[in-house]
Chains A and B, each alone.
Chain A
Amino acid sequence: MSGIRRRDVLAGTAFVLADIELARGAIISGQLPWQPDKEDTPRTAKPGAWKFFTADEAVMMAVLADRIIPPDPDTPGGNDAGCVVFIDRQLAGPYGLYEGLYERPPFIKGTLQQGPQSAQTPATLYRLGIAALERYCSRPDGRAKGKPLASLQAPEQDAILEGLEDGSVELEGVDGKTFFQQVVKDVQQGFFADPIYGGNRDMCAWKMIGFPGARYDYREWVGRHNERYPHPPVSIGGRIEWTPRKS
Chain B
Amino acid sequence: MTTYRLQVNGKQHAVDLDPDTPLLYVLRNELGLNGAKFGCGLGQCGSCTVLVDGKPAMSCLVPVSSVGTRAVRTVEGLGSSDKPGVLQQAFIDEQAAQCGYCIAGMIMQATSLLERTPQPTDAQIRAHMAPNLCRCGTHMRILRAVRRAADVLARTPGGAQR
Q: Do A and B share a complex?
A: no
* Interface of B toward A, CB cutoff 8 Å: none
